[in-house]
């Protein structure tokens, strides 16, 4: 029962098989491998973006920090939500990679509205040398609370950005889960909605460690390549990043795995809804659930070895019936059995 994150599960067997298959003979290094050529082509096709620049890195933080650094200047501020991963979970990586840009926390929790964004931009008067200058808009899709922006919501936000000359970046660590939930195309959710650059995460969805970074404007390409090398994120045996991504793209594996993960979360939520003492904190839209259970229930679950994040506490001390918030994440490898066991335990 590992619901702690979508990075504690294994890679999908076919991804691992593709790694083994790629492990023969010689290949040019540093991204000049033949597999990368195919990755590039397929991502361009998938995104209906024949001019896009496509790169692979091994971690989501690298994707975010490198993309934002490429789109910003050190004297600017990025606009992101208070719960944005780039703010809360990257140990100042964006500040490091950008050379000291600021993050302006915009909106409430994990989402922002056009009005929030306009207000945040207005905090920093344009053309005033004393203040942080306007930098990129950074959105996360699906969000850190397991919600999604509709394509219309994204378009409305990027329109505000465009009006102020801000480039836009979409942190797609759970890109596939969002596409699966929205039933839209990758193009719909990105450049057609005004997004300039996006990461398409593989690591949390069946890969070992690979994220694609896609710039729809090829002008950013060379700077990104230099930043990737300078930050030590250019792999010599790059074929092993390519092989993962290629398999991930093949026959829509990325989408199938995300659909599975989302479906598992839906099953789990449904089970929780049947528990009178459970409370759903955020209406789940992808593979992540924020819900409360009474302390005593948590004690029982944890004692039985269930792994998941507990936000409130302490676990050991307090009224048995006090509701404590948890985060449950399902990746593709979570089974119906795992869920049943968890719910049985929760039922007591």
What residues between 60 and 89 interact with its own copies by CB under 8 A? 60-62, 64-66, 73-77, 88-89
The minimum distance between CB 193 and its own copies, in angstroms, equals 26
Nearest to 289 by CA among 341, 343, 252: 343
The one among 40, 102, 259, 264 contacting its own copies by CB under 8 A: 102
Residues 126-155 that bind its own copies (CB under 8 A): 129-133
Nearest to 326 by CA among 310, 346, 304: 310
Could you say whether residue 5 binds its own copies (CB under 8 A)? yes
How far, rounded to the nearest angstrom, does the alpha carbon of residue 176 sit from its chain's CA centroid?
9
Taking the least distance from each CB to its own copies, the nearer of 151 and 170 is 170
Among 13-21, 150-158, 180-188, 189-197, the segment contacting its own copies (CB under 8 A): 13-21
Query: Quick one: tokens of 188?
Result: 């719909």
The one among 35, 101, 154, 249 contacting its own copies by CB under 8 A: 101
In this structure, are residues 243 and 19 in contact, taking their beta carbons and an 8 Å threshold?
yes
Q: What SS3 state is found at 103? A: strand
Taking the least distance from each CB to its own copies, the nearer of 5 and 217 is 5
C-alpha separations of 300 from 5, 64, 277, 304, 345 in Å: 20, 38, 14, 6, 7
C-alpha separations of 265 from 48, 203, 342 in Å: 30, 18, 12
Q: What SS3 state is found at 108? A: strand
The minimum distance between CB 291 and its own copies, in angstroms, equals 21
The minimum distance between CB 124 and its own copies, in angstroms, equals 9
Could you say whether residue 233 binds its own copies (CB under 8 A)? yes
Residues 271-310 that bind its own copies (CB under 8 A): 307
- Residues that contact its own copies, how many (by CB under 8 A): 74
């Amino acid at each position: 029962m590992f619901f702690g994150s979508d990075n504690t599960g294994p890679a999908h067997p076919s991804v691992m098989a593709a790694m083994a298959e790629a492990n023969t003979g010689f290949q040019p290094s540093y991204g000049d491998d033949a597999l990368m050529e195919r990755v590039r082509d397929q991502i361009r096709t998938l995104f209906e973006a024949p001019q896009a620049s496509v790169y692979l890195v091994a971690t989501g933080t690298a994707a975010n920090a490198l993309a934002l650094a490429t789109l910003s200047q050190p004297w600017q501020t990025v606009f992101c939500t208070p719960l944005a991963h780039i703010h809360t979970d990257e140990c100042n990586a964006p500040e490091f990679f950008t050379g000291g840009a600021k993050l302006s926390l915009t909106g409430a929790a994990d989402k922002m509205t056009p009005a929030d964004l306009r207000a945040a931009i207005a905090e920093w008067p344009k053309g005033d040398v004393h203040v942080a200058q306007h930098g990129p808009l950074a959105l996360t899709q699906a969000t850190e609370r397991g919600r999604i922006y509709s394509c219309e919501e994204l378009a409305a936000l990027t329109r505000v950005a465009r009006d102020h000359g801000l480039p836009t970046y979409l942190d797609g660590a759970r890109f596939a889960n969002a596409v699966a939930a929205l039933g839209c195309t990758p193009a719909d959710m990105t450049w057609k909605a005004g997004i300039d650059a996006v990461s398409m995460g593989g690591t949390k969805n069946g890969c070992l460690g690979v994220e694609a970074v896609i710039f729809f404007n090829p002008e950013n390409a060379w700077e990104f390549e230099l930043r990737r090398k300078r930050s030590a994120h250019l792999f010599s045996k790059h074929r092993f990043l390519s092989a993962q991504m290629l398999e991930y793209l093949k026959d829509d594996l990325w989408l199938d795995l995300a659909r599975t993960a989302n479906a598992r979360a839906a099953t789990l939520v449904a089970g929780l809804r049947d528990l009178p003492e459970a409370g759903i904190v955020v209406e789940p839209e992808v593979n992540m659930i924020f819900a409360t259970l009474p302390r005593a229930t948590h004690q029982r679950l944890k004692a039985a070895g269930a792994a998941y994040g507990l936000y409130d506490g302490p676990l050991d001390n307090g009224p048995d019936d006090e509701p404590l918030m948890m985060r449950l994440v399902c990746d593709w490898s979570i089974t119906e059995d795992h869920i049943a066991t968890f719910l049985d335990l929760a039922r007591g």
